[in-house]
Amino acid sequence: MTDTPPDRLCADPASPHYDAAVLERGVGVRFKGVEKTNVEEYCVSEGWVRVSAGASKDRYGRPMTIKLKGTVEPYFRDRSESR
């Protein structure tokens, strides 16, 4: 596995951008220089993140999300395993 997170990643198993192996490793996201813990999906090349909007749920029981644009910096949280 590489030391660089993928360009696009989603936490929803129904998404084509879902990758269980990468999510198990632990991915952190800095958005506009601030650590975000509620990111549902991100895309580095397009410069956006989808964050959950509070405790709101859609009609399928999934969290409601808001798309925010800006600088996205994903990283792996467990750097000790990659060395």
Can you tell me the mean pLDDT for 46-72?
93
Distance in angstroms (rounded) separating the CA atoms of residues 29 and 45: 14
Does 83 score more than 80 pLDDT?
A: no
What pLDDT is attached to residue 8? 97
DSSP lists the bridge partners of residue 35 as 30
Does 82 score more than 80 pLDDT?
A: no
Instruction: Provide the whole-model pTM.
Output: 0.84
Distance in angstroms (rounded) separating the CA atoms of residues 44 and 70: 9
Distance in angstroms (rounded) separating the CA atoms of residues 4 and 10: 16
Kindly list the domain boundaries of the chain, sorted by start residue.
8-77
* 76 Cβ contact partners less than 8 Å away, ≥ 6 residues apart: 3, 5, 25, 26, 27, 28, 82
The percent of residues in the chain predicted with pLDDT above 70, rounded, is 93
